[in-house]
Amino acid sequence: MKLNFTKIKGMYQLGTMPLLTGIACLLAVSISSCNKSSSTPGTGTLAVVAAAPDMSPADFYVNGGIANTTPLVYGSYISYFNVSSGTNKVGFDYTGTTTTIVRDTINISPNKTYTLFFSNLVAKRDFLLVTDTVVTPPNSKASIRLVNMSPDAPNVDLVIGGKVIVSNKSYKQASSFTTIPVVDNDTLRIVQTGTSNVLGVVNALTVQSNGVYTIWLYGFVNGTNGLALGASVMQNAIF
């Protein structure tokens, strides 16, 4: 069974895509639909981020239905889709197998929007369900938030153009969306709180007017190769 993807009112929806530490320009992101419509009554909407660095390609299931169209890999995500309100059984299986990685339940309120992060090592797996208050930014502005998904990182700040935009977020903490000026080809830095110690960087980021974005830190402070610290970005919506 395949789940039905939705268009959230006022949002341009994005498809499943890898999120790379260095992103040249978000203008290159493919937008699957420019139509605006409401989600189905009695449902919420959910996005899913694969932030467990040692997870092999996997499929995400909700109540027995597969949500992704291509395998999820570390740093990729599923854009918003309809989920029944109430308690939902969710989990990951390795792609092409019946081997379960993790199962859990999440509670969804009708007409609410969420992002579910799967983080830490698979053996120590963590879920974080965040409510997304996605609204149109003020005219000619954008909105951004920070999520710390690194299990052993210190508290972190998000810095843009030398200015601290979000401060003091520990593991599994998400900030609210904060209004920022539109930036073109700028560098976003995640630093240890109160210091200039850079932990993660998103290079050459273009933030569009009326766009809504999530930046997160992932990996491990002392990790090597694929487990090292990094930063990624998701465009939640463009109005």
* 143-167 mean pLDDT: 96
**What is the reported pLDDT for 39?**
55
Average pLDDT, the chain: 84
Q: 161: alpha, beta or left, given left = phi > 0 and alpha = psi -120 to 50?
A: left
DSSP state of 146: E
**Percent of the residues in the chain that have a pLDDT greater than 90, as a whole number:** 71
Q: Which residue has the tokens 């599923």?
A: 78
Residue 163 lies in a domain: yes
Spatial distance between the Cα atoms of 47 and 115, rounded to a whole number of angstroms? 5
**Chain segment 119-142, per-residue pLDDT in tens:** 999 999 999 999 999 999 998 899
Q: pTM here?
A: 0.82
| Structure tokens, 53 | 């660095």
Q: What would the mean pLDDT of 93-113 be, rounded to a whole number?
A: 96
Q: Which one, of 179, 148, 152, lies nearest residue 163 by Cα?
A: 179
Domain harbouring 151, CATH code:
2.60.40.10
In a domain, 85, yes or no: yes
Cα–Cα separations (whole angstroms), residue 43 to 76, 83, 104, 239: 24, 5, 19, 22
Q: Which residues does residue 178 pair with via DSSP β-bridges, in sequence order? A: 144
Q: Is residue 234 part of a domain?
A: yes
Decide if 84 is inside a domain: yes
Residue 54 lies in a domain: yes
Higher-pLDDT residue of 22 and 227 is: 227
Which structural domain range is residue 127 located in? 13-238
User: What does the DSSP 8-state code read for residue 9?
Assistant: T
Helix, strand, coil percent content, the chain, rounded in steps of 5 = 5, 55, 45
Please tell me the total count of domains within the chain.
1
What mean pLDDT is predicted for residues 50-77?
94
